[in-house]
Structure 1
């Protein structure tokens, strides 16, 4: 692998031929290396990457993986994936050939994260580990990596948080009294609490999504903001597209709000704010009302817990929340059903006693 020196600039460069993925012979030239060694290393790594060799460095594999994801993922999902890989995964593995990374190597990386001063939550640790495993699964499928060392090592963290925050109707009523002084807050927080929709679904709503006659809210899109741009995207999952029956008082709140808007078109976003506004209002309302602080997403949990307390079935709750399957609902909210077991036993006892007599 010959490399060359630019005597004028006192730098090194490499120039070589390779075959692309279609089998076409092409030439590659890269300049500006400070040393001969750096130029040779670039050529070697470039060829490993083009050949799909397991000798390629982990950093090169990440580049290939991200390029593959660009046409398959939503911009926000891709951005989150890139952030995790760039800051939590790649720094540790970057220069390691992928075929030299073992379960022991992964274990050392996991231990570093577990002992990190940031004290990452169990759910975030699980997310980070899943991203690493996805990289190796990709290498197994397309670059002949024999096994996934992240899977062989075992996961870290937890899929679900140990405790779930939510408000009772009493806590919600204290909060809403405070934020009612702003027209948008007077509408968006009741919608979040009494429907269980996601914040992105809320912020994507238009007037056309409301059927006031039949009192039905249509959820069919999701709002996100990325790099200063407003994006209207497909919902999180296919089941996220759904129709939600809403009570009359929510219809009245939305209609009252619309009458205050100037030059509004029914296909435009109804609530022209961002998630930052929602968080700011949550903090303001909690501080002034004395209600415990929860996340915006916890309003969704609050709605689910309310429906459970009212005795609605997991299937209905799953459909209303837009979960992909009922298992998600049961896994997320199973801890809210502890008193149901005793109710079952009492009813069975009553039936048995009636039959005896």
Structure 2
């Protein structure tokens, strides 16, 4: 803060800088005051008004202004999914000053103790993207997340990835009597497709003559029992046509003979539903029930999630790469890039590499 008389005009002026949390957020200069007292009073009023307006911005308001812009940049399903996270953040922390770096650091540090590393990264990114936009739009002077850090968890042990070995899947399938459920879980296991891709399958997507399944859409679960079946796949690599093994074709044929008796049967019918896809919650519940039944009978199979069927398929293929196909072939089948494949399943590729060395060392 400084008040002085301008030697050229003879008028009084004030200039200075405003700091919030030790960071400069504004520089100012005003001139044209008749007296020193008038300039001092004007500067105090200016600073009070600026800081009041700066502090009056709420995260909730920024978020609501940001969403229309963000909706033009990403898929609607991404917006829907992430809006749920924003609403949770506002519900849990909206009574605090979310433009204060110290408050944000406390939230991230608290979340680091409660949630997975991946979920904390989502929270961090959610805050950060709104604030970056707000700075560009001059809604706020600086990004408060610039001073916030999250734990790298460098000593955290990677959670073991669960999956079915082929014999374990056979044990699982042995307790499944319903033809549709047998075909459904077989599709997940032997094709490695994502849950939403499986839910979105219609009979027009399945070519039993040429033994292929075409993936061109996905179901996104909005709420526990609400789904949108009209979405495009996750990435451009996700559009693909992949070949079925005979064991899956047999299961689909057995179910198709039954499905043909349904009033809604036709090219548009959802294979694992009717005029609507099976719900994610029903799928989850059935999986849990069948695993419990298999273990009740003494099979002792792992309690995998629906997404772990995809891991199971990837594991099965990676561990059998010596049969003449490559990591590129596996990535193409899964609808991923080779880089993603190696990042997600790095530990399995390392195990495969050791197998190659063992083979070479023992080859006489």
- Which deviates more, 164-173 or 77-86? 77-86
Equivalent position of 2:26 in the other structure = none
Shift of 1:343: 3.9
Equivalent position of 1:271 in the other structure = 272
Shift of 1:192: 0.1
Structure 2 CA distance for aligned equivalents of residues 348 and 141 of structure 1? 58
Which SS does the other structure have where 1:337 is aligned?
helix
Shift of 1:329: 0.9
| 1:127-146 alignment runs, 5 A limit | 127-143=122-138
Which SS does the other structure have where 2:196 is aligned?
helix
Pick the aligned partner of 1:326 from 330, 334, 338: 338
Equivalent position of 1:210 in the other structure = 206
Q: 1:160 to 1:154 in 2, by over 3 A?
A: farther
Structure 2 residue 304 is the aligned partner of structure 1 residue 294:
yes
Q: 1:95 to 1:124 in 2, by over 3 A?
A: closer
Structure 2 CA distance for aligned equivalents of residues 157 and 127 of structure 1? 14
Structure 1 CA distance for aligned equivalents of residues 146 and 330 of structure 2? 33
Structure 2 CA distance for aligned equivalents of residues 107 and 226 of structure 1? 30
Structure 2 CA distance for aligned equivalents of residues 317 and 330 of structure 1? 11
Shift of 1:68: 2.4
Structure 1 CA distance for aligned equivalents of residues 218 and 73 of structure 2? 17
Query: 1:308–1:336: 8 Å Cα contact kept in structure 2?
Result: yes
Pick the aligned partner of 1:243 from 241, 244, 248: 241
Could you tell me which runs of 5 or more consecutive residues in structure 2 were left unpaired when the two chains were aligned. Answer: 1-48, 296-300
Residues 238-273 of structure 1, C-alpha deviations (whole Å, 9 max, x = no match)? 111111111123223222212212131112211112
Shift of 1:156: 4.2
Q: 1:156 to 1:89 in 2, by over 3 A?
A: farther
Query: 1:196–1:303: 8 Å Cα contact kept in structure 2?
Result: yes
Query: 1:126–1:156: 8 Å Cα contact kept in structure 2?
Result: no
Pick the aligned partner of 1:231 from 228, 247, 256: 228
Could you tell me which runs of 5 or more consecutive residues in structure 1 were left unpaired when the two chains were aligned. Answer: 1-43
Equivalent position of 1:18 in the other structure = none
Structure 1 CA distance for aligned equivalents of residues 93 and 235 of structure 2? 33
Structure 2 CA distance for aligned equivalents of residues 121 and 147 of structure 1? 28
Residues 93-143 of structure 1, C-alpha deviations (whole Å, 9 max, x = no match)? 666374xx33x432211122234xxx3222222222221222223223333
- Which deviates more, 78-87 or 276-285? 78-87
TM-score by length of 2: 0.72
Q: 1:336 to 1:317 in 2, by over 3 A?
A: same
Query: 2:179–2:251: 8 Å Cα contact kept in structure 1?
Result: no
Structure 2 CA distance for aligned equivalents of residues 151 and 322 of structure 1? 35
Task: Name the Cα RMSD after superposition.
Answer: 3.1
| 1:312-351 alignment runs, 5 A limit | 312-323=325-336, 325-346=337-358
- Which deviates more, 182-191 or 244-253? 244-253
Query: 2:60–2:90: 8 Å Cα contact kept in structure 1?
Result: no
Structure 2 CA distance for aligned equivalents of residues 341 and 135 of structure 1? 43
**Max Rg structure:** 2
Structure 1 CA distance for aligned equivalents of residues 135 and 359 of structure 2? 54
Q: 1:140 to 1:329 in 2, by over 3 A?
A: farther
Equivalenced residues, count: 296
Structure 2 CA distance for aligned equivalents of residues 177 and 350 of structure 1? 39
Shift of 1:54: 8.9
Off by >6 Å, runs of 4+ in structure 1? 157-160
Structure 2 residue 118 is the aligned partner of structure 1 residue 154:
no
Q: 1:346 to 1:91 in 2, by over 3 A?
A: closer
| 1:169-208 alignment runs, 5 A limit | 169-179=166-176, 181-208=177-204
Equivalent position of 2:318 in the other structure = 308
